[in-house]
Amino acid sequence: MSDDEADPELLEFLLQHFQKGSISNRIPETQVLEGAEYVYDNSIDVALDSQSCRAAASMIYDQMQKKEYSTKSWSSHDLHPKTKDESTVAFIFTMDLLNFSFWSEKEEDKRFTVEYKGKKWTGYWSLVASLQRALNEKIPITSSDFWQNEHECTEEVLRHVFRSCTEEEIPMFKERMACLREAGQILYEVESHLELIGPLANYYMQKYQCSFTHCIKAADHSAAALVNLLAEDFPCFNDVVSFENRKTVRFLKRAQICVADLWAAFDGRFYGQFDDIEKITMFADYRVPQMLNTLGCLWYSPLLDNTIRQKKVIESGHTWEIQLRVFGVWS
């Protein structure tokens, strides 16, 4: 090796240093509960019934015990990957990049549906089935190389990947395509380290070396750190809102789901080893408040209750939507 060439081992050491430096100096926190507590204390349209919450928690716990629910349950589903390797990491990252908005006002047999291996899948499972079907068809849908190659990963190819056996196409197709493109570009971003000297001066490194596995490594076994990394570096994971222009509220739903999926898929080991997994909260889903209301855990103001019963749309970011999502977390 000449004096003008960079030492590969030194480059790897420096890459790890710059990725983990900001994480190792503090204890990572997602701040999800901090924002939720503020909204809970200042909400006027949603209220909790603590007695019903305790009863619901007891019922859910009993059911989990009876069904022996654990991290191993994740891989037991027909559609979830079984291997404990980088291909599963790539699958989970792809899946959670696209895991949003399956809402449809159509009847069950007319909404977006994916047919795969003789079965029909809707909702979240339609997405998972689409990915598995694409991989079986030799389409590298979980590859970040593929996402950013606009000659291979065309709109036509992606429409084929997410094709439906009904007339309704996958909701928000354009937004999903944009998420893949954006994530592919971010994984390939380079950063300059001008503070390096000698043959390493002005050396450019790919921040995550084109792989989500390096995001996991940068988090250093911290669930909260990986959630924050996803929110900070990947805009589509940055699930943050302003509550009545008074408080920034961090939900980080899909970022937390991604970490939880890794933890469950790898049974808390390898790429799923997180020493602070307890910092992951409930995921602020739109279905959960419906169930909590049915169980008597959530109560609505008359105006909100009337709006919901009439099935009127509540816009994203509206104070009602924020309160409903927060109370799902805080309950």
Residues belonging to the active site: 285
Q: Which amino acid would we find at residue 95?
A: M
Asked whether the beta carbons of 169 and 133 are under 8 A apart, the reply is no
Contacts of 120 (CB under 8 A, 6+ apart): 113, 114, 165
Helix axes of 319-330 and 32-42: crossing angle, nearest 10 degrees = 120
Structure tokens that stand for 53 in this block: 């919450």
The DSSP annotation for 134-153 comes to: HHHTT--TT-HHHHT-TTTS
Per-position b or e across 41-57, b if 16+ CB within 10 A of its CB: eebebbebbeebbeebe
Q: Rounded to an integer, what distance in angstroms lies between the CA atom of residue 262 and that of residue 230? A: 13
